[in-house]
Amino acid sequence: MLKKAVFSLFLLLSGLTQTFAQPVPGLDENIPHLVTFGSEGDIAWGDDNFCQIIFFKIPESFTQPVYIRVYDPDTGGNIDEQKGEWNTGMSYSIFGGKGAWSEKDAQDMVLDGNYDSGTLLASKEFYENSEYDEKWYTFGPFNPSEGEFRKEFGGYIFKIIIEGISGDDGNLYNLYLSNHPDRNHAVEGASAFYYKYKFRLHDDINEVAHIYPHIDEKVVSIKQTNFDWDNDGRIQIVSLARPGDELMKIGGDSEWVSSTHKIYEEEKTNSLDLQMIKSQKGNIKNNNVVIYLENQYGEKLPFFSIPIGEYKYQSNISVEGF
């Protein structure tokens, strides 16, 4: 057991897992888009504070330039969520250097604190703009060593902050960490992670979305908190120790809801698979949600775009009955 735990930890820290793709949301997550609303948005539409923070880790061994690419960075057109006229501005800022990740306010998204810590490497504002509608915009190149070096990750960390600066519409978008300026090509051994995740669920009731919080060896219980789930089905916990019969509490429109769950030995140094199964009869569309997890000390747990540990759990997902 100890040997297994040490091995999993080694995989996490050295980045030697089979992580060859860095879209956010991740392929395994099956989440269509991230969501950030304009600064005048109505939180009942599913974004509690109009900001999203995503981290990327580049392994120390990777020395070529990297790029952070954004799909549909504008707010307007087909993908985005309109309220009245399109009037939303969105800023995208990329940070590296000391403090980019290690500043707790960044991990906790403390918007009146030092969340924009580190060295600003690039920044751009987007509004409604057909030039960028359903297109990719590329930030970079960045030298990996411009990130914050963290020995425990075995590499360099970059941070992107996506923040509504005006307007009330919903910006939907995707990210990709690439080693190429004009196409998505994975950076071998890199990964993306985040502590508070804001995204759109599929409209199709048969699509199951996943997130993969990483459970380290000191976690004995987790508290999950979610916002504006619109009673859309259920969230079930699947792991080496759980078949999926334990549910996390969800709430209705504009509601914050939490539930606490014990962690089992087999789950430590692994990822949980939180499966989000839509309501089968609610016909719930455009459902934007927020979720985060904390350990028993109130520290936020990272979700990784690619599950880490002894994956994959081949559970049979039943979508009946909700």
- Give the residues lining the site for Ca ion (CB under 5 A): 46, 72, 74, 77, 79-80, 83-84, 87, 133, 168-169, 171-173, 228, 230, 287-288
Output 103 or 228, the one with its CB closest to Ca ion. 228
- Amino acid identity at 70: V
- Amino acid identity at 201: L
* Integer Cα distance of 97 and 109 in angstroms: 18
Work out the widest C-alpha separation in the chain, in whole angstroms. Answer: 58
Task: Say if CB 213 and CB 301 are below 8 A apart.
Answer: yes
Output 17 or 231, the one with its CB closest to Ca ion. 231
Task: Say if CB 121 and CB 26 are below 8 A apart.
Answer: no
CB of 224 to Ca ion, least distance (A): 16
Task: Say if CB 49 and CB 127 are below 8 A apart.
Answer: no
The radius of gyration computed from the CA coordinates of the chain, to the nearest angstrom, equals 19
Output 221 or 280, the one with its CB closest to Ca ion. 280
CB of 93 to Ca ion, least distance (A): 16
CB of 230 to Ca ion, least distance (A): 4
Which tokens belong to 159? 């941070």
CB of 88 to Ca ion, least distance (A): 6
Task: Say if CB 75 and CB 169 are below 8 A apart.
Answer: yes
- Amino acid identity at 23: P
Residues 6+ apart with CB under 8 A from 269: 4, 5, 8, 9, 12, 215, 216, 217, 309
CB of 319 to Ca ion, least distance (A): 19
CB of 118 to Ca ion, least distance (A): 25
For residue 83, whether the previous peptide bond is cis, meaning omega lies within 30 degrees of 0, is no
* Integer Cα distance of 45 and 286 in angstroms: 9
Output 133 or 310, the one with its CB closest to Ca ion. 133
Task: Say if CB 275 and CB 244 are below 8 A apart.
Answer: yes
Output 39 or 295, the one with its CB closest to Ca ion. 39
Output 76 or 97, the one with its CB closest to Ca ion. 76
Measured in residues, the chain has a length of: 322
Q: Nearest 5°: phi and psi at 308?
A: -115, 140
Task: Say if CB 170 and CB 50 are below 8 A apart.
Answer: no
CB of 199 to Ca ion, least distance (A): 10
Output 72 or 163, the one with its CB closest to Ca ion. 72
Which tokens belong to 201? 């669920």
CB of 172 to Ca ion, least distance (A): 5
Output 50 or 173, the one with its CB closest to Ca ion. 173
CB of 237 to Ca ion, least distance (A): 21
Output 143 or 286, the one with its CB closest to Ca ion. 286
